[in-house]
Amino acid sequence: MSCSVLFYFEKAIFIGGCFSFHCYLFKLWPILFLPPLFIILKKEKAIQISAIAIIVSLFAFLPYYFPELPNNFSKSLVLYFNYFEFHAGIYHWTKIILDQFFNYEVRQVIMFYYKIFPLLLMGLFLWKFRNLKQSKNWLFLCLGILGIYLLTGSVIQPWYIIPLLVFGILHGIYTPLFWSLIIPLTYLTYRTFPYAEIHWVNTAIHLALLLFIAIEFRRKNLVNNALRNYH
């Protein structure tokens, strides 16, 4: 993705879009890195980049197309987001709280709308830093967007935080590094078969992570420093 952004800034939009589609072929969540482009670039250019990346990605899928593909793909997404869970923090705690007050059907409806919660947080984050117009701010904005996704998601595999780790180190933010040191504990899930996640370990990891975030934000005053240093 970094190569694609480099080409974007060098005005090689089509080549940048071609690099972007490689990200989407492996994982869908790199799409999260497109909205920050609408802050650091002119809207017309950001639209061109997004359109090229998505269109090229769709063409790359054509050799694998068969009539049932769209239906199977949508079922896979529903299965992934609604039934899979690994190293989920806020998502897991929300489910536990809802279990105390609502039946299964109502809980499922509320958890469906929970999916909007991360999007709202991402939108608020981008709005807060909407004045960071310079190209060097792209990595910082991606750090915030990806951090929100990983903290609120339902399936967070340890290797998902690798880009977050790189973004954090580049900006002197060490929460991702701390997370990378404690997240291997999640592999205790695979100590038995069938696999069973140890929820108290997961809770301890996230409580330690949230405490570290609070301490780092307080000591470094990250929001104000970002607005001052990256403007």
Pair 30, 144 in one domain: no
Domain boundary, last residue among 17, 34, 65: 65
Say if 221 falls within a structural domain: yes
User: Is pLDDT above 90 for 42?
Assistant: no
Say if 50 falls within a structural domain: yes
Pair 51, 106 in one domain: no
Tokens 């939108």 locate to 123
| pLDDT at residue 224 in the model | 57
* pLDDT band for position 229 (cuts 50, 70, 90): low
Say if 82 falls within a structural domain: yes
| Cβ–Cβ under 8 Å, residues 43 and 4 | no
pLDDT tens digits, 67-123: 887 888 888 877 877 778 899 989 989 988 888 888 878 888 888 888 889 999 999
pLDDT tens digits, 48-70: 777 877 777 777 777 777 888 78
| pLDDT at residue 41 in the model | 78
pTM: 0.83
Pair 59, 103 in one domain: no
Pair 144, 45 in one domain: no
Pair 38, 61 in one domain: yes
For the chain, the average pLDDT equals: 81
pLDDT tens digits, 124-160: 999 988 888 777 788 888 899 999 999 999 889 899 9
Angle, CA 87 vertex, CA 182 and CA 82 arms, to 5°: 165
Q: What single DSSP character describes residue 221?
A: T
4-13, 161-170, 198-207: segment of lowest average pLDDT: 4-13
- Mean pLDDT highest for which of 30-34, 60-64, 127-131, 177-181? 177-181
Task: Quote the domain boundaries for residue 162.
Answer: 76-229
Say if 71 falls within a structural domain: no
Say if 167 falls within a structural domain: yes
Say if 211 falls within a structural domain: yes
Domain boundary, last residue among 13, 42, 65: 65
Pair 45, 123 in one domain: no
Three-class SS state of 86: strand
Say if 200 falls within a structural domain: yes
Q: Which residues contact 52 (CB under 8 A, 6 or more apart)?
A: 13, 14, 16, 17, 18, 20
Tokens 């974007």 locate to 8
Pair 50, 85 in one domain: no
| pLDDT at residue 222 in the model | 59
User: Is pLDDT above 90 for 226?
Assistant: no
Say if 70 falls within a structural domain: no
User: Is pLDDT above 80 for 20?
Assistant: no
User: Is pLDDT above 60 for 2?
Assistant: no
Pair 137, 215 in one domain: yes
Pair 52, 141 in one domain: no
Q: What is the C-alpha to C-alpha distance for residues 193 and 190, in angstroms, rounded to an integer?
A: 7
| pLDDT at residue 161 in the model | 92
Pair 86, 194 in one domain: yes
Domain boundary, last residue among 65, 93, 114: 65
Pair 52, 159 in one domain: no
Pair 122, 179 in one domain: yes
| pLDDT at residue 208 in the model | 95
Q: Which of residues 15 and 107 earns the better pLDDT score?
A: 107
Domain count for the chain:
2
Among candidate residues 5, 152, 19, 147, the one with its CA nearest the CA of residue 91: 152
User: Is pLDDT above 80 for 230?
Assistant: no
